[in-house]
């Protein structure tokens, strides 16, 4: 038997239905804030990620899937999408269009990390970028949009963590202070921290090793080294959040794992994910587009990415806790009572689908008990028991499978009845996943 490669998986129903739901709701929220979709290639030149993500980051040094093309050029499966969006922004001179550039994306990314719960080597991300402005209100609107998105999914207990990581002008002084503070502590820290302290000491703060956390808590904090411009920018972002009633927690040691981030950095965390509790994260990356060829005045940007695999885990946990279970099967299962009604049942299925209902039709000639058993096992919400007498009398028996309740409904009002009943019908605990 040939199996999926380690760290990859097949997304099967009903879980794939949750992914579809997440993407549909995200598209709806993005539209409210005037974002448009961009679809970038799955692979790019390796140089793009080395220059933008950072040559000393774990992604570039350890995790990228890189290969030689036939012309010996180096290509890499995209490990994240911000660099690809920035490349497209520069290549197509999108700053020349009126207004800010607001783009969102959805799709697979690739990193050779150690597989664990919610983390895969082929994983899925949803993200958005705003390019062309460094104004604090742009940061605020992005955070407001994410708050709305989480509310749409009922994840109201997600917590926003907020920090400023400064800029290239004020970070060097902090780097120096951090190196001095790390020097006597490094022998007690993990190998990755020892390496990062030499290449990019800010990355030490991103360490997830539990034994290193008490040491990290003793280190200097970046907010004490911010210059006037970075301090004022961060204060304005916080003031806008306060005025909108959006709750957040200042986290002075929060950094992002990639080199291009500046100023505002944030994460939304959720308890359903355990110790690795980050639900989504992002921040400002002024200057990234300039590195790739954009003019300085057009190179400011901010964005975020949702790890869709982990987001779905949190959504499932939250729904199970709240008892808000989503059905996995069709809205309606049509059970033909007798082979002679097969054609009429197929016509009825077409009629109900045209009304927006999902329908599955059973095979004529099977015993009714077997058909109802199949309908229940596949997670259908209602079964229609259709025989010749029912069709001639224009009364269709409708059985609610979770409760066993059954009543006859006029054929002319059948679709309206089912739509109304579907909003109120109870769902069994095992039926999880369909949007």
| 216 within domain boundaries | no
Residue 281 to residue 267: CA distance in whole angstroms: 4
Q: Is residue 243 included in any domain, yes or no?
A: yes
- Any domain includes 180: no
- Positive or negative: CA dihedral 348, 406, 408, 337: positive
Tokens of 85: 């969006």
Is residue 59 in a domain?
yes
- Give the mean model confidence (pLDDT) for residues 199-221: 81
Mean pLDDT for the chain overall: 85
Same domain, 282 and 303: yes
CA-closest candidate to residue 206, choices 250, 258, 132: 258
* Mean pLDDT value across residues 269-296: 81
Rounding to the nearest 10 degrees, give the CA dihedral for residues 357, 362, 367, 368: 0
Of 425, 434, 57, 110, nearest to 259 (Cα)? 57
Domain harbouring 138, CATH code: 3.30.930.10
Mark whether 66 and 28 lie in a shared domain.
yes
Co-location of 60 and 89 in the same domain: yes
**Total domains in the fold of the chain:** 2
Q: Do 295 and 394 belong to one domain?
A: no
Residues 267 and 123 grouped into a single domain: yes
Which one has a higher pLDDT value, 14 or 3? 3
Residue 38 lies inside a defined structural domain of this protein: yes
What mean pLDDT comes out for the span 62-88?
Answer: 91
Q: Could you give the CA distance from residue 401 to residue 422 in angstroms, rounded to a whole number?
A: 12
CA torsion 55-57-60-64 (nearest 10°) is -170
pLDDT for 224-276, tens place per residue?
889 999 999 999 999 999 999 999 999 888 887 666 788 999 999 887 555 55
Contact 352, 418 (CB under 8 A): yes
Given 261, 295, 322, which residue is the final one in a domain? 322
Give the separation between CA 161 and CA 146, rounded to whole angstroms.
Answer: 13
Which structural domain, as residue segments, surrounds residue 287? Answer: 15-170+226-322
Considering the domain architecture, whether residues 295 and 361 belong to the same structural domain is answered as no
CATH classification of the domain holding 397: 3.40.50.800
Task: Give the DSSP letter of residue 88.
Answer: H
What's the rounded Cα separation, in Å, for the pair 5 and 430?
A: 29
In a shared domain, residues 316 and 337: no
Beta-bridge mates of residue 122? 110
Name the DSSP letter for residue 425: -
Do 362 and 401 touch, CB atoms closer than 8 A? no
End-to-end CA distance of the chain: 32
Residues 288 and 417 in one domain: no
Statement to judge: residues 111 and 79 lie in one domain:
yes
Residue 194 placed within a domain: no
- Residue 10 placed within a domain: no
Q: Is residue 183 part of a domain?
A: no
CB 74 within 8 A of CB 47: yes
Beta strands 122-131 and 301-307 are antiparallel
Tokens coding 124? 């899925």
Which of 278, 293, 322 is the last residue in one of the domains?
322
CA angle at residue 342 from 341 to 347, to 5 degrees? 95
Q: What pLDDT is stored for residue 323 in this prediction?
A: 63
For residue 217, name the pLDDT band (cuts at 50, 70, 90).
confident
Asked if 386 and 261 sit in the same domain, the reply is: no
pLDDT at res. 29: 95
Percent of the chain with pLDDT over 70: 91
pLDDT band at 432 (very low <50, low <70, confident <90, very high): very low
Residues 33 and 123 in one domain: yes
Q: Are 151 and 137 in contact (CB under 8 A)?
A: no
Instruction: Using alpha carbons, list the distances in angstroms from residue 329 to 20, 129, 242, 381, 398.
Output: 15, 36, 43, 7, 16
CA atoms within 13 A on the CB side of 207: 25
- Tokens 């003031």, residue located: 239
- Rg (C-alpha) for the chain, rounded Å, is 27
Asked if omega into 14 is within 30° of 0 (cis), the reply is yes
Based on the fold, state whether residues 376 and 249 are members of the same structural domain. Answer: no
Q: CB atoms < 10 A from the CB of 231, how many?
A: 14
Reference 142, options 258, 240, 256, 287; nearest CA is 240
pLDDT in tens, 168-178: 888 888 888 88
Model confidence pLDDT, tens digit, residues 120-129: 899 999 999 9
Question: Once rounded to an integer, what is the mean pLDDT over residues 317-324?
Answer: 71
Interatomic CA distance for residues 267 and 282, integer angstroms: 7
């Amino acid at each position: 038997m040939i199996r999926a490669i380690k760290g990859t998986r097949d997304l099967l129903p009903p879980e794939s239905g949750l992914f579809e739901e997440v993407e549909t709701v995200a598209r709806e929220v993005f539209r409210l804030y005037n974002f448009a979709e961009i679809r970038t290639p799955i692979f790019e030149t390796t140089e793009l990620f080395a220059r933008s993500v950072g040559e000393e980051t774990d992604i570039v040094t350890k995790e990228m899937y890189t290969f030689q093309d036939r012309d010996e050029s180096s290509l890499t499966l995209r490990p994240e999408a911000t660099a690809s969006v920035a490349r497209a922004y520069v290549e197509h001179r999108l700053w020349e269009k009126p207004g800010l550039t607001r783009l969102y994306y959805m799709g697979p990314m690739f990193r050779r990390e150690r597989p664990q719960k919610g983390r895969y080597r082929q994983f899925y991300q949803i993200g958005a970028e705003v390019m062309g402005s460094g104004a604090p209100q742009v940061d605020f609107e992005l955070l407001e949009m994410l708050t709305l998105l989480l509310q749409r999914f009922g994840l109201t207990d997600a917590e926003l963590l907020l920090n400023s990581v400064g800029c290239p002008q004020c970070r060097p002084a902090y780097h120096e202070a951090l190196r001095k503070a790390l020097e006597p502590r490094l022998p007690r820290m993990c190998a990755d921290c020892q390496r990062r302290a030499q290449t990019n000491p800010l990355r030490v703060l991103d360490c997830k090793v539990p034994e290193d956390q008490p040491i990290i808590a003793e280190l200097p904090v970046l907010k004490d080294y911010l210059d006037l411009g970075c301090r004022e920018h961060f204060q304005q972002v916080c003031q806008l959040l306060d005025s909108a009633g959006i709750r957040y927690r200042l986290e002075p040691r929060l950094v992002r794992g990639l080199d291009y981030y500046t100023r505002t950095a944030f994460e939304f965390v959720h308890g359903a994910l355990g110790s690795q509790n980050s639900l989504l994260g992002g921040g400002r990356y002024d200057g990234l587009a300039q590195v790739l060829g954009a003019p300085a005045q057009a190179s400011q940007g901010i964005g975020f990415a949702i790890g869709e695999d982990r987001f779905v885990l949190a959504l499932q946990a939250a729904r199970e806790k709240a008892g808000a279970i989503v059905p996995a099967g069709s809205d309606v299962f049509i059970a033909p009572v007798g082979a002679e009604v097969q054609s009429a049942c197929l016509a009825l299925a077409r009629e109900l689908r045209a009304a927006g209902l999902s329908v599955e039709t059973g095979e004529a000639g099977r015993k009714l008990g077997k058909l109802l058993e199949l309908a229940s096992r596949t997670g259908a919400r209602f079964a229609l028991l259709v025989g010749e007498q029912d069709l001639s009398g224009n009364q269709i028996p409708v059985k609610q499978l979770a409760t066993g309740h059954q009543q006859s409904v006029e054929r002319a009002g059948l679709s309206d009845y089912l739509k109304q009943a579907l909003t109120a019908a109870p769902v069994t605990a095992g039926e999880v996943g369909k949007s």
